[in-house]
Amino acid sequence: MPPRKGASLQLGWDIGGAHVKACVLADGALSDIAQWPCPLWQGLPHLDAALEQARSRWPAAWQAGARHAATMTGEMVDLFADRGQGVARIATHLEAALAGDIRLFDGDGGWRAPPEAAAHWRGIASANWSATARVLAPRAGDAVLVDIGSTTTDLVPLRGGRVAARGTNDAERLATGELVYHGVVRTPLCALGPRVQWRGERINVMNEFFASTADIYRLTGELDPAHDQAPAANGQGKDAVATRQRLARMVGRDAADASADDWLALAAWWRQAQLREIGMQLERVCAEADVLANAPIIGAGCGAFLAAQLARRLGRPYRRYAEVALPAPPADTALAGWADVCAPAVSVALLAWG
């Protein structure tokens, strides 16, 4: 839904390594959200293309000199020599491309102007999870944020209305289990384990990027096609036949070697392997932070369907990001769903102007 003419516009941005996510607040109310593919490791022109698509979708935001709040994880891609350079170059790029006031979210507290990015890159780098958690904490009190995206999972404990995370950056969060490099689209299947259950046997898998988690959730019917934006591992189609062929390659076979039910069973096994790993890390995070046993899981990301299942397994209540974070959840259920998927972009906008 485009913002109404004459409204005061604020945009929230989450500049990732694989996607750009953005939202528009019109007079403080959520008006629209979108996500575009952005394989940033292939070059900054991909960021330019995503920003141009945003400009085409929301021309009024450029014409009216809207205000922008941004967070990022894209500094991690190997286009950049190091993370500090990545933060600085993305900040410079945003400043050149966006019209109006621009502020960058600093997980250490406060906001930074683009020229300050190089000096404060450590606080800006990969802080999008912190923006989401800071929005939820005072609203939820005690809870656990489980944001399962295309590539990673954030597990953030909230205690007494405060963010109770032990880690503050990617390295620390990997060590504590609060960052799990598992997603429902881009994770190579070989990362889920060296062996699988196949027709009653445990067999080794091929440690090649023959298939990704998108192939699992495409077959199970859980991955929304709108979130299936990354190319398939082999660059081929995303129909059921092509998807089964990629799974078959993982176990040294062709799709014709087994039935559709066999390949669905293999996908279900991999699904359980991923759920088991994320669940193990979630229980670890909850134990370390002494999260209350009845504290809800707040699900976000395009893999929120797994967060809901984890809540059921652990006997915890389940709530969606949109119902907790938004002052007035939109009547448009699709818009609320996109708020769940693009939670950090919505969160930086809410922190800045909500």
pLDDT band at 331 (very low <50, low <70, confident <90, very high): confident
pLDDT band at 110 (very low <50, low <70, confident <90, very high): confident
Cβ-proximal residues to 11 (8 Å cutoff; 6+ apart), any chain: 22, 23, 24, 25, 58, 61, 66, 67, 68, 69, 98, 349
pLDDT of residue 5: 56
pLDDT single digits (tens) 291-320? 999 999 999 999 999 999 999 999 999 999
* Whether the Cβ atoms of residue 73 and residue 17 lie closer than 8 Å to each other: yes
The Cα–Cα gap between 235 and 32 comes to 31
How does DSSP classify residue 313? H
Q: Enumerate the domain spans of the chain.
A: 9-126, 140-325
The Cα–Cα gap between 107 and 347 comes to 13
Percent of the chain at pLDDT above 90?
90
**What is the DSSP pairing of strand 297-300 with strand 318-320?**
parallel
Is residue 224 over pLDDT 80? yes
What is the pLDDT averaged over residues 267-278? 98
Is residue 112 over pLDDT 60? yes
pLDDT of residue 231: 96
**What is the DSSP pairing of strand 67-72 with strand 9-15?**
parallel
State whether residue 211 is helix, strand or coil: coil
Q: Rounded to an integer, what is the distance from CA 277 to the centroid of its chain?
A: 18
* Whether the Cβ atoms of residue 323 and residue 289 lie closer than 8 Å to each other: no
The Cα–Cα gap between 51 and 68 comes to 13
Is residue 238 over pLDDT 80? yes
Is residue 206 over pLDDT 90? yes
The Cα–Cα gap between 60 and 190 comes to 45
Exposure pattern of 74-91 as b/e (b: 16+ CB <10 Å)?
Answer: bbbbebbeebbebbbbbb
Which has more pLDDT, 2 or 206?
206
Is residue 4 over pLDDT 60? no
Report the interhelical angle of 128-140 vs 343-353 (nearest 10°).
70
The Cα–Cα gap between 63 and 114 comes to 21
Is residue 15 over pLDDT 60? yes
pLDDT band at 3 (very low <50, low <70, confident <90, very high): low
How does DSSP classify residue 106? -
At 4, list the tokens: 């109404």
pLDDT band at 181 (very low <50, low <70, confident <90, very high): very high
Q: Rounded to an integer, what is the distance from CA 284 to the centroid of its chain?
A: 21
Q: Of the given ranges (4-13, 38-47, 135-144), which has the lowest mean pLDDT?
A: 4-13
In this structure, whether the domain defined by 140-325 belongs to CATH 3.30.420.190 is answered with yes
Among 19, 296, 346, smallest CA distance to 146 is for 296
pLDDT single digits (tens) 280-298? 999 999 999 999 999 999 9
**What is the DSSP pairing of strand 111-112 with strand 162-163?**
unpaired
For the chain, give the mean pLDDT.
95
How does DSSP classify residue 3? P
The Cα–Cα gap between 31 and 40 comes to 27
What is the pLDDT averaged over residues 177-199? 97
Phi and psi for 312 in degrees, rounded to 5?
Answer: -65, -45
The Cα–Cα gap between 29 and 27 comes to 6
pLDDT of residue 354: 62
Which has more pLDDT, 14 or 101?
14
What is the pLDDT averaged over residues 244-273? 98
- The architecture that CATH gives domain 9-126 is 2-Layer Sandwich (3.30)
Is residue 64 over pLDDT 80? no
User: Identity (one letter) of the amino acid at 170?
Assistant: D
pLDDT single digits (tens) 332-344? 899 999 999 999 9
Phi and psi for 308 in degrees, rounded to 5?
Answer: -65, -40
At 181, list the tokens: 């490099």
